[in-house]
């Protein structure tokens, strides 16, 4: 299996565990680290919308908790007809732990996948000063 297939499976599984009672919009994310480990996360809504958590943030927290800090590839899956991209905050979160050429795969329920680099998604992101 290639990386996209493995990451897609993990992200779909994570989306299946999402807590999305308000929007019913389930998102899962899977991260492949530079050491070959995979971490996943799902979106967690809250009745007070701004305090919800994106799937990417959950996967990143799991990665950091696992003692890792370098994203090799990341896949975001949405249980929708359209491919979605990470929100602006999550683009910056991903850029914190990925090289500019790291692939960001975005997949939907139809099985379509689009890949861009984090540099393409966030061309002028904040970096260390």
CATH number of the domain where residue 97 is located: 3.40.140.10
Rounded average pLDDT over 14-31: 97
The enclosing H or E element of 3 equals helix 3-16
Number of C-beta neighbours around residue 70 at 10 A: 13
Residue 8 lies in a domain: yes
- Among the listed residues 6, 73, 18, 71, the one whose alpha carbon sits nearest the alpha carbon of residue 43: 18
Q: Do residues 71 and 106 lie in contact, with contact meaning Cβ atoms separated by under 8 Å?
A: no
Domain extent, residue 112, equals 3-121
| Given 56, 68, 70, 73, the catalytic residue | 56
Whose structure tokens read 């491919």?
A: 83
Rounded average pLDDT over 42-59: 96
Residue 57 lies in a domain: yes
Residue 127 has pLDDT above 70, yes or no: yes
Rounded average pLDDT over 22-32: 97
Residue 128 lies in a domain: no
Q: Do residues 26 and 45 lie in contact, with contact meaning Cβ atoms separated by under 8 Å?
A: no
How would you classify the pairing of strands 71-78 and 27-33?
antiparallel
* pLDDT for 1: 56
* pLDDT for 26: 97
Residue 71 lies in a domain: yes
Residue 29 lies in a domain: yes
Residue 126 lies in a domain: no
Residue 127 lies in a domain: no
Domain count, the chain: 1
| pLDDT, tens digit (0-9, with 9 covering 90-100), for 78-112 | 999 999 999 999 999 999 999 999 999 999 999 99
Residue 41 lies in a domain: yes
Q: Is 56 a catalytic residue?
A: yes
* pLDDT for 128: 65
């Amino acid at each position: 299996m290639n990386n996209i297939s493995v990451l897609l499976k993990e992200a779909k599984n994570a989306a299946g565990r999402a807590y999305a009672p308000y929007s019913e919009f389930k998102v899962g994310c899977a991260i492949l680290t530079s050491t070959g480990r995979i971490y996943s996360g799902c979106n967690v809504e809250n009745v007070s919308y701004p305090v919800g958590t994106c799937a990417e943030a959950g996967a990143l927290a799991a990665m950091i908790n696992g003692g890792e800090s370098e994203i090799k590839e990341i896949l975001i899956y949405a249980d929708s007809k359209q491919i979605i991209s990470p929100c602006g905050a999550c683009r910056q979160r991903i850029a914190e732990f990925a090289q500019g050429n790291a692939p960001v795969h975005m997949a939907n329920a139809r099985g379509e996948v689009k890949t861009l680099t984090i540099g393409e998604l966030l061309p002028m992101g904040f970096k260390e000063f």
